[in-house]
């Protein structure tokens, strides 16, 4: 297993060959080991572009795993600029304090799937640092997967049925299952967790036939497959619009594939907007290269072969403990976009009706629903800078924005010094990471004495949730006044009484764990 004492360059042997990592120190002086930029798949380039990933080959000698691999080509969500990265981007990172433990002392493993609208992000430690979680004696794995068109192009043909980015995640999970024991991790106690698109990915893995047996628990933060932004509608038609946008007009999917495999990679980034239909520019989020229900082919194993809602309603879902929630002011992140579109939306409030509903009702009914949404949230006034705080709030208003909880789970470079210097923030970080790692260790049978609250699992009768604030508190029926059906019952199953997960001190916030039986 390599050297059995602390070294600057620890080495271990995995299935592909020998790895050389790095020894690091946490803020309290504790030693941990990092192995970054480990390839889990062959570079998806040339004729492998858009296709399902191929497991990485073995190597000779020692693989230097001290630095992250390249990020996948993407658009920077803050600046809007293209980050070319590299198509050779299918790497993962392992962080462990337990490298030299014997097989009788293997520890729980947590595999994080990053968000970013399926079009940006990576598993790199500048944002997803491991130290907060490692203090609770778990192993953390982060990963890259292909994004936007490179990861989610669908041509409805055997070569490119779609979901390549999801299949990247599956292959990474297989790698973890096969190799994590060499890092001191328990391959029979793996928790997958993710935020936003990563949270939706986690729930897709619950219903995909590809992921059976690859994980034991799941945590979904601010995203599930029921969100209408989490799946692609008309994906094959979008692929042909992409070809036309890049100068290739054809009706032949294989001709289009040859063309798209030949264009520079930078031309396949930031292509969502030019392939959107007029209505899509106003309805819902601008996320369209994402998971699809695949067309079946005899020699291809589908990642997703039926609507996930069908799987949920028919209980065709992996039976593992599930923890899920969202922040109490998610929509702050959309404030500027709402202001820019306010004049149009005030005249056409039917565009606030979700995609899945809008496509299944008449135009008159859609207009009626739009007006009801307007009255519920804004009264007769409509959207303005004054009324928007009723939906999302400004930065000075208390509330946890979309992705805010990540700064309490990972030591992000931009804020970690602030956390270390602020005693209250430091305690909040400890509490939240303790909750997450307790779940990874124990599922929904968490010992009552680990924190100052008895965490009851969610039921459809009471819709229990844990409010995460400066104090932890159990409650029931989160956001009851904002649901269509105020009573208990099946509505809880369909997202009408979802718990709220706010992680900013001083704001009410909630969180739920599902029973596993």
Residue 133 CB neighbour total at 10 angstroms:
25
CA 295 to chain CA centroid, Å, is 24
Contact of 257 with 89, CB cutoff 8 Å: no
* Active-site annotation holder among 34, 120, 125, 196: 196
Q: Residue 428: how many CA atoms within 13 Å on its side-chain side? A: 24
Among 33, 37, 12, smallest CA distance to 22 is for 33
Contact of 145 with 172, CB cutoff 8 Å: yes
CA distance linking residue 16 with residue 159, whole number of Å: 27
Sequence-distant (6+) residues with CB within 8 A of 417 are: none
Q: Give the residue carrying structure tokens 């192993």.
A: 139
Query: How many contiguous H segments (helices) and E segments (strands) does the chain have?
Result: 14, 16
CA distance linking residue 111 with residue 431, whole number of Å: 20
State phi, psi for 75 to the nearest 5 degrees. -100, 135
Q: Give the residue carrying structure tokens 């509330």.
A: 399
Residue 136: both structure tokens together: 């609770």
**Considering just the CA atoms, what is the radius of gyration of the chain in Å?**
23
Kind and range of the H or E element at 192?
strand 185-195
CA distance linking residue 204 with residue 166, whole number of Å: 9
DSSP string, 94-160: EEES-TT--GGG-EEEEEEE--STTTS----TTTS-SHHHHTTS-EEEEE----HHHHH---SSSS-
Residue 25: both structure tokens together: 């120190």
38-62 per-residue burial string, b: 16 or more CB within 10 A, e: under 16: bbbbebbeeebbbbbbeebeeeeee
Q: Give the residue carrying structure tokens 């299935």.
A: 15
57 is catalytic: no
Contact of 499 with 478, CB cutoff 8 Å: yes
Query: If phi over 0 gives left and psi between -120 and 50 gives alpha, with beta otherwise, what is residue 118?
Result: left
Among 382, 372, 377, 378, smallest CA distance to 347 is for 382
**DSSP, res 334:** G
Catalytically annotated residues = 196
């Amino acid at each position: 297993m390599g050297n059995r004492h602390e070294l600057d360059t620890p080495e271990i042997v995995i299935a592909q060959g020998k790895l050389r990592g790095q020894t690091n120190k946490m803020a309290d002086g504790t030693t941990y080991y990092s192995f970054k930029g480990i390839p889990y798949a062959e570079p998806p380039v040339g004729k492998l572009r858009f296709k399902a990933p191929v497991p990485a080959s073995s190597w000779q000698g020692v693989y230097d795993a001290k630095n992250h691999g390249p990020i996948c080509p993407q658009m920077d969500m803050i600046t809007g600029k293209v980050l070319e990265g590299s198509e050779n981007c299918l790497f993962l990172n392992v962080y462990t304090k337990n490298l030299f433990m014997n097989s009788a002392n293997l520890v729980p493993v947590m595999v994080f799937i990053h968000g970013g609208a399926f079009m940006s992000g990576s598993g790199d430690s500048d944002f997803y640092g491991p130290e907060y979680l490692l203090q609770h004696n778990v192993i953390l794995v982060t990963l890259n997967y292909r994004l936007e068109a490179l990861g989610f192009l669908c041509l409805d043909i055997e070569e490119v049925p779609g979901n390549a980015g999801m299949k990247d995640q599956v292959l990474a999970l297989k790698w973890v299952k096969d190799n994590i024991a060499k890092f001191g991790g328990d391959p029979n106690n793996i928790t997958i967790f993710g935020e936003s698109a990563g949270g939706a990915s986690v729930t897709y893995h619950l219903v995909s036939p590809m992921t059976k047996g690859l994980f034991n628990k799941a945590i979904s933060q601010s995203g599930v497959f029921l969100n209408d932004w989490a799946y692609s509608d008309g994906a094959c038609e979008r692929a042909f619009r992409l070809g036309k946008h890049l100068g290739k007009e054809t009706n032949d999917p294989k001709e289009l594939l040859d063309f798209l495999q030949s264009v520079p990679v930078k031309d396949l980034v930031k292509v969502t907007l030019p392939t959107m239909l007029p209505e899509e520019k106003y309805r819902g989020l601008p996320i369209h290269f994402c998971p699809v229900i695949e067309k079946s082919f005899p020699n291809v194993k589908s990642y997703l072969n039926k609507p996930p809602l069908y799987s949920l309603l028919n209980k065709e879902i992996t039976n593992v403990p599930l923890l899920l929630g969202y922040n109490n002011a998610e929509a702050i992140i959309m404030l500027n976009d709402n202001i820019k579109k306010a004049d149009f939306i005030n005249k056409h409030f039917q565009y606030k009706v979700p995609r899945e509903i809008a496509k299944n009702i008449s135009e008159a009914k859609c207009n009626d629903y739009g007006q009801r949404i307007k009255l519920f949230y804004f009264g007769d006034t409509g959207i303005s800078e004054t009324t928007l705080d009723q939906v999302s709030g400004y930065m000075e208003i208390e509330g946890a924005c979309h992705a805010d909880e990540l700064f309490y789970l990972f030591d992000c470079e931009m804020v970690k010094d602030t956390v270390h210097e602020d005693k209250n923030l430091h305690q909040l970080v400890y509490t939240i990471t303790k909750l997450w790692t307790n779940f990874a260790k124990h599922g929904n049978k968490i010992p009552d004495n680990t924190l100052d609250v008895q965490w009851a699992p969610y039921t459809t009768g009471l819709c229990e949730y844990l409010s995460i604030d400066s104090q932890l508190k159990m409650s029931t029926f989160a956001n009851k006044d904002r649901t269509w059906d105020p009573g208990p019952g099946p509505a809880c199953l369909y997202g009408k009484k979802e718990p709220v997960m706010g992680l900013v001190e001083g704001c009410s916030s909630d969180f739920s764990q599902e029973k596993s039986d």
